[in-house]
């Protein structure tokens, strides 16, 4: 009996080690705005199907170290926004850069943020007006994210953390669409971090999936399947905030797709997968959150010489013409076209039970499977689309196969060419270094 009392006391003491708090702030546009993600759209948004959010989940460990995850129903986040929020969080809360983690769901039904130049010709006569609308939206965004972070930190209360992974099966390797002979790996894991009050009530749930949020592609603002999953979980668990983390699923699409019914159905499937994990036995997460954030330079193939770019200005392919325009603009403005990019690698180790590895860009699934095999399927959570979403990051296999994720997509960016073959080994070496530093 005495032993049982001691065990209970010890368990209570364990429970008091973490504090956590969560908050959400809507970032739904209040005017018609161009939606990001698809080159084929011909007009700005025509309505709102579903509110979109900036959400924040703050942790404080027993040593008093605070850390915040920010999740956004947006297609991308760039330093333009992340740096402003990181500065606010440092100045107001004394939280260093490695302890704030940004992830976007990559919903293709949310506004463009930041640079509109690559959309200019697609927007046509809408461009002048939309440039102003998007500038307004972009300028207001950091304040809304800051508010979510401030509220999450203000809500810090004693909490328990538990981690486990489930499964959901609707992600399909999209490179096999049209090239059925390709191997087509997928990552169907559904990582779940449950944040509960000492009473056991669910206060927040951080969950992930590795698949493009591209069920829908029309003119209504919404969070796609991840938006429906978050809404379903919040409806099923009143008072809890559900935060979605996009995994390394750059080569996965939800298939079949293109109906609201399917977006809602995949959202419900993902919410069911999360609930199945929440109802089952989950591993308690011990105290202490260690964090690392570093960048490593990845290299691009060289841009064509200026004479070649000049020639491309009259290419029959619209996208070749636009890319050449952007390269010549950079050359004129900066005197050079960049040949490397600082790739962000962030890792958070929670106790000894779980590590959240958050990598930049649109990361293909090979990286997720490789790192989980190396560092433990039950202990590693691999997120892509974190901190800086600048374009695709192919593995060596995908780079060799070519195609859109292998290099073709660079045409839609302000980068000179696809990454060099070394991108895989450079990213992998940096991840190994960061993971080892947390051991
Ligand atoms: Zn994408």
Tokens at 295, concatenated: 């960048």
pTM of this prediction? Answer: 0.95
Separation of 373 CA from ligand 1 center, angstroms? 24
- For 119-149, give the secondary structure using H, E and C: HHHHHHHHHHHHHHHHHHHHHHHHHHHHHHH
Separation of 269 CA from ligand 1 center, angstroms? 22
pLDDT reading at 270 higher than 90: yes
Separation of 105 CA from ligand 1 center, angstroms? 10
What confidence category does residue 439 fall into, taking pLDDT thresholds of 50, 70 and 90? Answer: confident
Find all residues with CB under 8 Å of 55, minimum gap 6, and list them.
Answer: 22, 23, 24, 25, 70, 71, 72, 148, 241, 243
Tokens at 46, concatenated: 């025509």
Separation of 271 CA from ligand 1 center, angstroms? 22
412 or 422, higher pLDDT:
422
Separation of 236 CA from ligand 1 center, angstroms? 30
Residue for token pair 């209970």: 8
Find all residues with CB under 8 Å of 394, minimum gap 6, and list them.
Answer: 364, 405, 406, 407, 418, 419, 423, 424
Q: How many CA atoms lie within 13 A of 383 on its CB side?
A: 32
Find all residues with CB under 8 Å of 95, minimum gap 6, and list them.
Answer: 66, 67, 68, 89
Q: What is the pLDDT of residue 10?
A: 46
Separation of 193 CA from ligand 1 center, angstroms? 25
What is the rounded distance in angstroms from the CA atom of residue 301 to the CA atom of residue 322? 18
* Each residue's pLDDT tens digit, 70-99: 999 999 999 999 999 999 999 999 999 999
Mean pLDDT of the region 167-190: 97
pLDDT reading at 15 higher than 50: no
CA separation, residue 353 to residues 1, 34, 66, 203, 357 (Å): 30, 42, 19, 20, 13
Tokens at 136, concatenated: 């307004």
What is the rounded distance in angstroms from the CA atom of residue 330 to the CA atom of residue 325? 9
Separation of 228 CA from ligand 1 center, angstroms? 19
């Amino acid at each position: 009996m005495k032993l049982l009392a001691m065990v209970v006391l010890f368990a209570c003491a364990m429970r008091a080690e973490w504090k956590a708090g969560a908050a959400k702030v809507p970032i739904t546009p209040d005017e018609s705005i161009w939606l990001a993600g698809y080159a084929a759209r011909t007009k700005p948004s025509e309505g709102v199907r579903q509110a979109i959010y900036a959400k924040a989940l703050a942790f404080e460990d027993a040593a008093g170290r605070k850390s915040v995850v920010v999740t956004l129903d947006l297609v991308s986040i760039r330093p333009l926004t992340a740096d402003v929020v990181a500065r606010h969080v440092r100045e107001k809360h004394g939280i260093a850069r490695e302890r704030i983690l940004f992830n976007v769901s990559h919903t293709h039904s949310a506004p463009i943020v930041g640079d509109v130049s690559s959309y200019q010709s697609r927007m046509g006569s809408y461009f002048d007006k939309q440039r102003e609308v998007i500038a307004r939206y972009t300028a207001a965004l950091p304040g809304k994210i800051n508010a979510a972070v401030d509220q999450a930190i203000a809500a810090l209360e004693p909490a328990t953390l538990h981690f486990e992974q489930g499964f959901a099966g609707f992600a399909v390797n999209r490179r096999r669409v049209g090239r059925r002979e390709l191997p087509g790996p997928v990552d169907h894991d559904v990582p779940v971090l449950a944040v509960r009050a000492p009473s056991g009530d669910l206060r927040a749930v951080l969950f992930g999936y590795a698949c493009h949020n591209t069920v829908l592609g029309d003119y209504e603002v919404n969070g796609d399947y991840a938006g429906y999953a978050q809404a379903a979980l919040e409806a099923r668990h009143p008072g809890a905030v559900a935060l979605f983390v996009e995994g390394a699923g750059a080569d996965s699409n939800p298939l079949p797709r293109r109906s609201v019914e399917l977006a809602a159905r995949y959202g419900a499937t993902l919410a069911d997968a999360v609930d199945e994990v929440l109802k089952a036995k989950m591993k308690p997460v011990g105290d202490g959150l260690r964090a690392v954030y570093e960048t490593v330079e990845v290299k691009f193939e060289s841009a064509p010489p200026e004479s070649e770019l000049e020639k491309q200005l009259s290419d029959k392919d619209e996208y070749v013409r636009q890319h050449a325009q952007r390269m010549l603009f950079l050359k004129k403005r900066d005197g050079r076209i960049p040949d490397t990019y600082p790739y962000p690698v962030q890792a958070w180790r929670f106790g000894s039970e779980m590590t959240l590895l958050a990598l930049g860009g649109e990361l293909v699934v090979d990286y997720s499977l490789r790192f989980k095999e190396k560092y433990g399927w039950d202990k590693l959570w691999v997120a892509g689309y974190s901190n800086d979403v600048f374009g695709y990051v192919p593995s060596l296999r995908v780079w060799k196969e070519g195609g859109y994720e292998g290099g073709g997509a660079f045409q839609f960016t302000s980068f000179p060419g696809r990454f060099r073959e070394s991108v895989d080994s450079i990213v992998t070496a940096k991840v190994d270094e960061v993971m080892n530093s947390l051991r």
